[in-house]
Structure 1
Amino acid sequence: MLQGFKDFIMKGNVVDLAVAVIIGAAFGSVVNALVQNVLMPFIAGLVGSPNFDEFARWNFNGNMVEFGVLLTAVVNFLLVSAAIYFVIVMPMNKLIAMRDRRLGMPRKDEEAPVDPQIALRTEIRDALKDPTRQ
C-alpha cells in the first residue's frame, strides 16, 4: 500500500505539477506587486483614484449595488494579464525564436521541406483514389 503511494508521488508529472504550483504562487506575488505598486499608482495619477470602488454606487431598495468594485476587478485583471504578457510571454517568445534560428529550425509559419519520395507517393496515392481516372 505504501509502495503504491510512493510510486504515485514520485511520478514525474506529480512532482512537475507541484513545482509549477509553488512557482506560480510565488510569481503571483511578483505580478501583484507590479500591478499594485507600479501600474495602479500610474493609473491613479491619470484618473485621480487608485480604484473605481466609489465610481458607480446605487442604493436599490436598501441594498447597495457597487458596479465600481466590479470595474476595479476587471481593470486589475487586464493589468495583470498585460503585465504577464509583456514581461514574460513576449520576451520568452523572442528567446525561443532566437534559439530556433540558431539551431536552424524552420519557423512555425514556414513549411518544412517535403521529401520528394513522400511527395511522389502522395501523388500516386491520390491518383489511385480518383474514381474518374482511366
Structure 2
Amino acid sequence: MIQGFKEFILRGNVIDLAVAVVIGAAFTAIVNVVVDALVNPLISLFFAADSLDTALMWEVPTLFGGTATFAIGAIIGAVINFLAVAVVVYFAFVMPMNRAKERAARKAGVTEEEPALPTEQELLVQIRDLLEKDQTPRV
C-alpha cells in the first residue's frame, strides 16, 4: 500500500498539479491588478461605473415589492478574467512546454507517429480466420 502511494506521488502528475495550483494562485494577483489598473478605468470611460461589477446592472421589480438585481457586468468581468488567465497560462506555460517536449523528442529521435491500429472489421476477420483454423474435425 505504501509503495503504491509512493509511486502515485512520484509519478509527476501530482507535482505538476501542485505547481499549477501555486502558479494559478500567484497569477490571480496579477490578473486582479490588471483588472483594477487597466480594465476598470476603461470601463469608467464608457459607463457610469467604477468597475464591471457595478456596470450594466439591471434591476427588476419582484412580485413582493422588492427588486432583483442582475449584474451582467460582473459576469462579463468574470469572463474577461478567465480569458486573461487562460491566454497568459497558454502562452507563458503550455506553449513553451510543448515546444520543449517536441525539441527533446526530436533530439532523442522519437517520432510521435504511432502505427495505425487495425479497424474493427479487420480484427473481426482475424478472429474469424483463427476460429476457422482452430476447428479441426474431432472423432
Q: Indicate the TM-score class for this superposition, using the shorter chain for normalisation.
A: 0.5 to 0.7
Unaligned runs of 5+ in 2: 62-66, 117-121, 130-139
- The amino acid across from 2:33 in the alignment is N
CA distance, structure 1, for counterparts of residue 25 and residue 73 of structure 2: 24
Question: Counterpart in 2 of 1:86?
Answer: 91
Aligned residues: 110
In structure 2, the CA distance between the partners of 1:19 and 1:102, relative to structure 1 (3 Å rule), is closer
Q: CA deviation at 1:35?
A: 1.8
Deviation >6 Å, runs of 4+: none
Separation of aligned partners in 1, 2:92 and 2:36: 16
The structure with the largest alpha-carbon Rg is 2
- Corresponding residue for residue 132 of structure 1: none
Could you say if the C-alpha distance between residues 37 and 80 of structure 1 is closer, same or farther in structure 2, counting changes exceeding 3 Å? same
Give the Cα separation in 2 of the matches to 1:95 and 1:21. 19
Q: What SS does structure 2 have at the residue aligned with 1:60? A: strand
Give me the whole-angstrom Cα distance separating, in 1, the residues matched to 2:5 and 2:103: 35
Equivalent of 1:34 in 21, 30, 34? 30
Determine which of 93, 98, 102 is the counterpart of 1:97: 102
Q: Secondary structure at the match of 1:10?
A: helix
Per-residue Cα deviation, 1:24-50 (whole angstroms, up to 9, x for no partner): 331112221332234663444655578
Task: Compute the TM-score of the two structures, normalised by the length of structure 2.
Answer: 0.59
RMSD: 3.5
Identity of aligned residues (%): 24
Cα displacement (A) at 1:8: 7.7
TM-score normalised according to structure 1 size: 0.61
Q: Is the 8 A contact 1:9 1:15 kept in 2?
A: no
Supply the AA of the counterpart residue of 2:28.
Answer: N
Shift of 1:22: 3.6
Distance, in Å, in 2 between the alignment partners of 1:102 and 1:95 is 10
* Deviation (angstroms), 1:88: 0.3
**Which of the numbers 5, 24, 28 marks the counterpart of 1:10?**
5
Cα 1:46–1:99 change in 2 (3 A) is: farther
